[in-house]
Structure 1
Amino acid sequence: MAPGQNPRNISSKDITKNMTLYTTHNGDIEIDPKTLAFKKPTGNPLVLMMAWLMAKQKHLKKYAQIYTELGFDVVVVHITPWQLLWPAKGTQVVAAETLKFLENNKAYEPIVMHGFSVGAYQLGEIMLQMSRDMERYGSILDRFVCQIWDSAADITEIPVGLPKSIFPKNARMQSALRNYTLYHMKTFHNQATIHYMRSSQMFHSTLLKSPALFFVSKNDPIGPPSSNHAVRENWERADITVTFKCWDHSQHAAHFMKHRDEYLQILFQHLETSGVLEAIGVPKRAKL
């Protein structure tokens, strides 16, 4: 956005209980509840945003606004703690809905992937479903032009991240829920943990080969540099171009709030080098 320019009005619309559209499109948007297809496409490119756990709409809107100012629509996929704990009835259902939306709204192209924290797990679930029918879903992958991972969390961090998300200021409740989460992952191995493991393996081997940007910080226990570096190494071996930004001090899924100017500069540079901005007609250097 150019300095002094007024932000365009951003509106939100629920597509499902777990998917929200943010757009500056003025017209009415009608969505078929069975197919999740828009009756009339907005004509905008898309950012598919995987939210962190317990994310507030006001915070998600700030991230969405970065992209709506560039002319994108943003679809945010958000999951609940219950959906995370019971994947077969939770996150896998959300993954199927997300795939249905992408499949039935083919006008959305190019697509940028921007994920936070547990969103890495959620994308793993989506890619697992894609991998079972690549003839059907391969063309969806071709529409993705780049990806951004902010504080990506691996399965080993679920017992750390889940309690902090639900009880951010209550250490006693965090401890209790951490103990329960460890019990849950051990007791419900077939109903839960095995799904986390498969999703993690899929995220590490990834079907999405477009250039990637990682935002991490050394003091983040939920999305630590170590697990993100492991992903980076796997991706670079698969010839995926990876940009890695690691701060000494920041905050999980809030790097933008802590390092706003630097975050935006690195993000816009990534969008530019990926050819996204040129593809959607954003003039060079007219973005800040």
Structure 2
Amino acid sequence: MAPLKNRRYVSTKEITKNMTLYTNGQFKSEVDQNTLEFKKPTGNPLVLMMAWLMAKQKHLKKYAQIYTDMGFDVMVVHITPWQLLWPVKGTQIVAAETLKFLENNKTYSPIVLHGFSVGAYQFGEIMLQMSRDMERYSQVLNRIVCQIWDSAADITEIPVGLPKSIFPKNPRMQSALRNYTLYHMKTFHNQATIHYMRSSQMFHSTILKKPALFFVSDNDPIGPPSSNSAVRENWERADIKVTFKRWERSQHAAHLIKHREEYLEYLFKHLEACGVLESIGLKSRAKL
């Protein structure tokens, strides 16, 4: 896969404290703070990108530019460790804001969903809210045409993933936070753990029946192939087409860095198979 050409200036705009929009060129539209609706839509398709925990903007921008170079806008949804630990006042508020944005910006179509790590949990929270009023949110679901899951993490991996995200180079602090996270999940079952369980169940059963691409690696303790394979089996039983790319060695939420050519090859093939490239005026990957 040749590197993408015609790289243009990418601007970012903070929509909320947890939502950042990436677009080509200068973003000039005002955003209604109550509805999160753009007064002058860009007319571009959208990628809804569910970020990993503690993701740095410079790293997210590398993924966003893959899509902005194709003419997409990219909405990155990111959560904090505190929001993860206290879902009712944290991740569920972010889920409601994300839904409000998608519902009120109807010109964003098609939508590609690209999630990393804990982003799978966050999207489960979004689906739970949609499932309570399917008549209202069916127009949002119908606009999502395909999904990509990179190192998706299930609730069983929260005590592993949270400490590694916050203290990547400090094993002693990782151990301390792992012990606290286990304590937190046991002590605050009704305030936290039950919500993780509901989100996980929703992610496994899913109301989004669109083709999916999974990226996993055997040496990833946070998003292991075992939990991702369980999701794959559930989805295939529901007649969802799943493509599974598994490496022996890679890095959690950094497969693009370790295996760039292969990652992009699988990604573009998936977008092409789902009709995304054609729908945005790109007949084939050769145009990229």
TM range (shorter): over 0.9
How many equivalent pairs are there?
A: 288
Q: What is the CA-CA distance between 1:27 and the residue it aligns to?
A: 4.8
* Superposed CA offset, 1:163-196 (max 9, x none): 0000000000000000000000000000000000
Report the AA paired with residue 149 of structure 2: W
Q: What is the CA-CA distance between 1:29 and the residue it aligns to?
A: 2.1
The normalised TM-score by structure 2 is: 0.98
Aligned CA distance change for structure 1 residues 262 and 284 (closer, same or farther; 3 Å):
same
Q: Distance in 1 between matches of 2:116 and 2:27?
A: 30
What 5-or-longer segments of structure 1 have no aligned partner?
Answer: none
* Superposed CA offset, 1:10-40 (max 9, x none): 0000000000000004451210111000001
Counterpart for residue 127 of structure 1: 127
CA contact (8 A) 1:68 1:74 kept: yes
Show the 5 A alignment for 1:19-30: 19-30=19-30
Show the 5 A alignment for 1:73-222: 73-222=73-222
Aligned CA distance change for structure 1 residues 223 and 2 (closer, same or farther; 3 Å):
closer
The normalised TM-score by structure 1 is: 0.98
Report the AA paired with residue 267 of structure 1: L
Q: What is the CA-CA distance between 1:282 and the residue it aligns to?
A: 1.1
CA contact (8 A) 1:25 1:42 kept: no
Report the AA paired with residue 135 of structure 1: E
User: How large is the RMSD of aligned CA atoms in angstroms?
Assistant: 1.2
Q: Distance in 2 between matches of 1:2 and 1:165?
A: 32
Q: Distance in 1 between matches of 2:287 and 2:171?
A: 42
Counterpart for residue 269 of structure 1: 269
Report the AA paired with residue 43 of structure 1: G
Secondary structure, counterpart of 1:286 in structure 2: helix
* Superposed CA offset, 1:100-142 (max 9, x none): 0000000000000000000000000000000101111111100
Does residue 15 in structure 1 map to residue 15 in structure 2?
yes
Q: Distance in 2 between matches of 1:6 and 1:138?
A: 36
Q: Distance in 1 between matches of 2:8 and 2:2?
A: 12
Q: Distance in 1 between matches of 2:3 and 2:82?
A: 42
Q: What is the CA-CA distance between 1:249 and the residue it aligns to?
A: 0.2
Aligned CA distance change for structure 1 residues 191 and 48 (closer, same or farther; 3 Å):
same
Q: Distance in 2 between matches of 1:226 and 1:3?
A: 32
Secondary structure, counterpart of 1:14 in structure 2: strand
Report the AA paired with residue 23 of structure 2: T
Q: Distance in 1 between matches of 2:137 and 2:274?
A: 22
Q: What is the CA-CA distance between 1:2 and the residue it aligns to?
A: 6.9
Q: Distance in 2 between matches of 1:58 and 1:121?
A: 23
Report the AA paired with residue 174 of structure 1: Q
Counterpart for residue 34 of structure 2: 34
Secondary structure, counterpart of 2:47 in structure 1: strand
Q: Distance in 1 between matches of 2:5 and 2:68?
A: 14
Aligned CA distance change for structure 1 residues 267 and 178 (closer, same or farther; 3 Å):
same
CA contact (8 A) 1:117 1:153 kept: yes
CA contact (8 A) 1:2 1:287 kept: no
Instruction: Return structure 1 stretches of 4+ with deviation > 6 angstroms.
Output: none
CA contact (8 A) 2:272 2:285 kept: no
Q: Distance in 1 between matches of 2:235 and 2:117?
A: 18
Q: What is the CA-CA distance between 1:284 and the residue it aligns to?
A: 1.2
What 5-or-longer segments of structure 2 have no aligned partner?
Answer: none
Counterpart for residue 229 of structure 2: 229
Report the AA paired with residue 266 of structure 1: Y
